[in-house]
Structure 1
Amino acid sequence: MITSDSDSATDLKNAEPAVFSDAEKDVLVIISELEKEVGYIFSDKELAQSAITHKSFFNENKDSGQPVSQHNERLEFLGDAVLELSLSHLLMDQFPHVDEGVLSKLRASLVNEASLFQIAKVLNLNHYIRLGRGEIQSKGAEKPKILSSLFEAILGAIYLDAGFEKAQSVVNGIFKELIKDIKNIESIFVDYKTQLQELSQKIYGITPKYKLLVSTGPDHEKIFQMEVFINDQVKAQGSGGSKKQAAQSAAQMLLEELKNERV
């Protein structure tokens, strides 16, 4: 929790009471609940508001009087860098004798869309994203891309609000538990495609198929979106910096769904 120094406390004491519209009050309630989940209280609530605002909500409401100043895509861009640097520090600290190549693979496995989606779900971030009507109807609050981007945007907002050390502290609090019990670091690099193939053959008697949906970005920084499907019905999507990474991400998504259905 952030504490103010004496000057700030005096300023707050002498400040006029803030007056909020009903819509602004609703957003402040959402932000308050979000702060409890991530373990950080924003000084600048407008940064938090931007972090939870999807572009679809912004486009629909920017001229409506709703409290919306920015959407979260720029914060996502910043949060991605904050997350990678924070995890680099954490992994070097936790695995002092592991070489760079293995650390890079480990970091990549922690920051891929599938992993961040799972973390976002654990933090209940699907309850706090502000979406446009179309995204609400298409269940945008359950989409891996939207929730993983939301998580990164929140980290970007924390960085702007309080600096790198505070953002790093939040990252450490979330990820330290995920990696502290790793005994054999090589064992975490799971081949999700192979696992999915084995489970698919066991359940359906067939192997999954993969399809490239789209690739975006410049040649040196492309992002690939892949879909995996079984019987043209059981489907999942994933993205990554290569077709192989995107396929692994999609396989991980579908594998989690199938395992949850069998619980």
Structure 2
Amino acid sequence: MQQRLGYHFGDEALLEQALTHRSAPGPNNERLEFLGDSVLNFVIAAEVFARRPGAREGELSRLRANLVNKASLARLARTLGLGAHIRLGGGELKTGGHRRDSILADAVEALLGAVYLDGGFEACRGVIASLYQEWLEDLPERGELKDPKTRLQEYLQSRRLPLPDYEVVDIQGRSHDQTFVVCCRVDRLELASEGVADSRRRAEQRAAQEMLARLERGDTQSGDPDR
């Protein structure tokens, strides 16, 4: 893990704590997560500020959010193979907690907090810059920063079409680990798409993204799951 992270700890107890979820016995990573989140946000804010000198505050905020949100952190964790190293309690192990985005994202932030305590700010900044190098060198353009629901709304409005309707068609799993299935419909075009995610908001975004993809490739065939 230290080799993949590009940092070797002087105090390996910090690394162990960073990889311990609150469901497992012993010191857990919640406090380190809080610290790492703060350092990560600052470093990424400084990076996008330097790389986009003409960008306004709103664009800079969206760039930062795009890089430090839960989905991006979970993807980073999977690149590092982090899930296999996280210590979990029995309940989380049985429900596949090592694959869950929230647990993976929190562990990345905790790792960064541990690096900060072990090696200081410059060491932590170097790790973040290395982990994010490819993403920082290929920052999305302004139009790409808009979320799929906003882009779909603008697409439809520009063609004088009614706005889409979103409906939760299924909720699966227990209350602490639910999966939402959302249908996005554009009735005028007789089109529908589905999105699946661990929250209603993200499921709506994924359904909107799928609808956009269909519209942009000229798909006018009904995608209604009920038809």
TM-score (norm 2): 0.70
Deviations 1:53-81 (A, max 9, x none): 001112xxxxxxxxx4x100000000100
Show the counterpart of 1:142: 99
Q: For the residues of structure 2 that align with 1:89 and 1:102, how far apart are their CA atoms?
A: 13
Query: What is the distance in 1 between the residues matched to 2:151 and 2:178?
Result: 17
* Contact 1:210–1:227 (Cα < 8 Å) also in 2: no
* Distance across 1 between alignment mates of 2:124 and 2:207: 27
Hey, what's the Cα distance between the residues in 2 that align with 1:164 and 1:253? 40
Cα pair distance change 1:123/1:101, threshold 3 Å: same
Separation of aligned partners in 2, 1:81 and 1:249: 27
Give the drift of 1:94: 1.4
Partner of 1:189: 145
Aligned partner of 2:181 in structure 1 is 229
Corresponding position of 2:10? 43
Shift of 1:179: 2.6
Report the alpha carbon displacement of residue 237 of structure 1 after superposing the two structures with TM: 1.3
> Which runs of 5 or more structure 1 residues have no equivalent in the other structure?
1-33, 59-67, 198-205, 214-224, 239-245, 257-263
In the alignment of these two chains, the number of paired residues is 185
Runs of 4+ in 1 over 4 A off after TM superposition: 193-197, 252-256
Q: 1:247 aligns with which of 182, 189, 201?
A: 201
Contact 2:195 2:204 in 1 (8 A): no
1:31 aligns with none
Identity %: 36
Q: For the residues of structure 2 that align with 1:210 and 1:164, how far apart are their CA atoms? A: 44
Closer, same or farther: CA 120–252 of 1 in aligned 2, 3 Å? farther
Aligned to 2:36: 79
- Structure 1 residues 105 and 249, CA gap change in structure 2 (3 angstroms): farther
- Summarize the Cα distance change of 1:234–1:248 in structure 2 as closer, same or farther, 3 Å threshold: closer
Deviations, residues 168-219 of structure 1 (Å, cap 9, x unaligned) = 111111112113123x62133142347899xxxxxxxx976359x9xxxxxx
> Please, what is the CA RMSD of the aligned residues?
3.4
Gaps of 5+ in 2: 154-163, 172-176, 184-193, 211-227
For 1:252 and 1:179, locate their aligned partners in 2 and report how far apart those are by CA, in whole Å: 24
Q: 1:149 and 1:57 mapped to 2: Cα distance?
A: 14
Aligned position for 1:9: none
Q: Distance in 2 between matches of 1:253 and 1:120?
A: 25
Find the counterpart in structure 2 of residue 222 from structure 1.
none
Contact residue 51 and residue 157 of structure 1 kept, 8 A: yes
Superposed, 1:146-225 pairs within 5 Å as 146-182=103-139, 185-193=141-149, 209-210=167-168
